Amino acid sequence: VTMMTIGDHPDYLALGYLLNQNMLKRGDLVEAVDYDEELEVVVVRTPERTDFEQKLKKKTLTSGCAQGTAFGDLMEAIDEIELPEAELRTSWLYALTRKINTTPSLYLEAGAIHGCVLCERDKPLVYMEDVGRHNAVDKVAGWLFRHDVDPGRMIFYTTGRLTSEMVIKTVRMGIPILVSRSGFTEWGVELARKAGLTLIGRARGKRFIALSGEDRIVFDQDPETVEEEGGKHRRKGAGGDD
């Protein structure tokens, strides 16, 4: 598989890609992840036989910038995943959007890039960026695979649109809450409702739209106490949804 990427965290990107393509599962043993800097090649070694060849025959082009490719059935195993109970306090949401949108990043500086952030309550834990949201979310998935972190306690934040692929990858990671500062697609919302995922769109300043899983939201902060998002917190050249 050939990818267009900014080149950081190749191990997380490779692992996350395999996980989100359902070629690797949480709990599977990975013997080694080898990266050749000169060739820019990552090799993931597992002791078990795989069905990669069969999945590679089934290809789907995904939407968005830096168009991705999904191999195998996009909906494979989604119906079998039961997301855990969780809550999203509005105080956490307001704090997260403020912290993430004021953190120095390529997203704020350059514009032609996407970011994904793994969060716990009101704390951003891991911030990954790349030319496409597909790569950024795969890096987070790879990080989760490598670290002993309970995904059921996490909140997933993305700068990009809430597409069906973003919903599917979040559900596969076992994360019950997905938040974006951008817009959403009809199919993304439909899949989130079907999967029991809490989906929050257009989270900017004191404003957000609850698209699914509203029962997890706890309104514990008056939005009138929250500042509106200033221009300096917006990505350069941003005028709408990504």
Q: Where are the domains of the chain?
A: 10-76, 88-233
Handedness of CA 151, 78, 64, 10 (dihedral sign): positive
For the ranges 136-140, 207-211, 232-236, the lowest mean pLDDT is seen at 232-236
pLDDT at residue 121 tops 50 = yes
Of the two residues 4 and 15, the one the predictor is more confident about is: 15
pTM: 0.85
The band of 108, judged by pLDDT with boundaries at 50, 70 and 90, is low
Among 28-37, 72-81, 194-203, name the most confident range: 194-203
Q: 88-233 belongs to which CATH class?
A: alpha beta
The band of 205, judged by pLDDT with boundaries at 50, 70 and 90, is very high
pLDDT of residue 25: 84
Please compute the mean of the pLDDT values over residues 182-209 and round it to a whole number.
96
Provide the mean pLDDT of the chain.
85
Extract the runs of DSSP E, i.e. beta strands, from the chain.
32-36, 41-45, 59-61, 69-71, 88-89, 114-120, 123-130, 155-158, 177-180, 198-204, 207-212, 217-218
pLDDT of residue 155: 99
**Cα 86 to the chain's mean position, in Å?**
18
In this predicted model, what pLDDT tens digit does every residue of 54-96 receive, in sequence order? 665 555 444 444 445 444 455 666 778 999 999 999 999 999 9
pLDDT of residue 239: 46
